[in-house]
Amino acid sequence: MSPSEASAQAPTVAERVVGQRPSAGRHTLALFLSELRLVFGRARTQVGLGVLAAVPLLIGIAIKIADNNGGTDGFLGQIAGNGLFLIVGSLGLSMPFFLPTAVTVVSGESLAGEASLGTLRNLLVAPAGRSRLLAAKMVALIVFCFAATMTIWISGFIVGFVLFPVGDVLLLSGSTVSLGDGLIRALGIAVVISLSLLGLAAIGLFVSSLTSTPLAAMAATFGTFVILGILTAIPQLHAIHPWLLVYRWQSFADLLRDPPYYHEIARNLLLQAGYVVVFYAAAWARITSRDIT
C-alpha cells in the first residue's frame, strides 16, 4: 500500500475526536451527576441537612424529659407512647419553616451561585446546552427535596425507636393499624411533603435565573414563601386560597385516616405540578434568552 493510500484510509483528527466524544446520553448523565455532587458537596447544604437531622433529636429529648416529669399530653403524649409518631411530628413541625428554608437556600443558589462565581457563562456555552443545564438544576432540586425530607424521616425513625416504645399505631380516625402499616403511612407522608416542596423549588430556580447574587435570590424566594403564607392566613382572601402554594401543604395528615383521604392530597400535588410547570417554563425562557456576552 502506497503512503498516499494509507494516508487516505487513516482517520483524520476530526474523525478521531468525534469517535471519542461521549454520547448525548452519557453526557447528560454526567451533567446530572456533576450537579448532584455540586449541590450536596456545598458546606451549607451539609450543614442544612445536619440541622434537619437534629430536629427529631431535639424534639425527642424534650418530650422524653417532659414525659419523665409527667408533663406530656395530646400529640406529645402520643409520641411518648409510640416512637413512630416522632417521625410524623418532626415532619409536621419542620414543614412550616425548616424544610422551606432549606429549599430556598439551595434553589436560590442554583443558578445565581454559578453566575456569582463566573462559571455560568462557561456552562451556558458548553455542549450540554442551556435547556439540559436547567433540567440538571431542576433534577438536583427534586433530589434535594427528597433528601431533606428523608433526613428528618430517618432521624425521627432512629430517635423514636431508641427513646420511646413502639407498637400499633392509633390513627386520627380512631382505628388502629399495625406498626408495619404505620411505617408505610409515615413513608407516604414523607413522599407527599417532598412533592409539596417542588413548587417552592421551581420558584427559587426562576428567581435564581434573574440575578447573579445568591443571597438576593434566597431572600426573594423566602420572601415569596412568607407572602404566600400570610395570604393563606387571611380569611377574607378565601377565594384565592386554593391557588396559593402552601394552602394544602398539611394535606399529608389525611394519610393517617382509615381509609386515607386522597382527595386533598391529589389537589395539593396537582397545584404543585402547576407551579413547577409555570416557573420552570419562566426559568427556561430566561436562561435560553440570557445574554452571556
Position 8 pLDDT exceeds 50: no
- Please report the pLDDT score of residue 291 as a whole number: 61
CA 186 – CA 73 distance, rounded (Å): 21
- Please report the pLDDT score of residue 3 as a whole number: 46
Q: What is the pLDDT of residues 156-183, one digit of tens each?
A: 999 999 999 999 999 988 899 999 999 9
Q: Across residues 75-101, what is the average pLDDT?
A: 91
Note whether 71 and 101 are within 8 A (CB): no
CA-only gyration radius of the chain, Å = 24
> What does pTM read for this prediction?
0.87
DSSP 21: S
Q: Residue 5 corresponds to which cell in the numbers above?
A: 493510500
Decide which of 130 and 43 is more confident. 43
Ramachandran sector of residue 140 (left: φ over 0; alpha: ψ -120 to 50; beta: rest): alpha
% of the chain residues with pLDDT over 90: 68
Position 6 pLDDT exceeds 50: no
Highest mean pLDDT among 1-15, 61-75, 145-159: 145-159
* Domain residue spans of the chain: 20-288
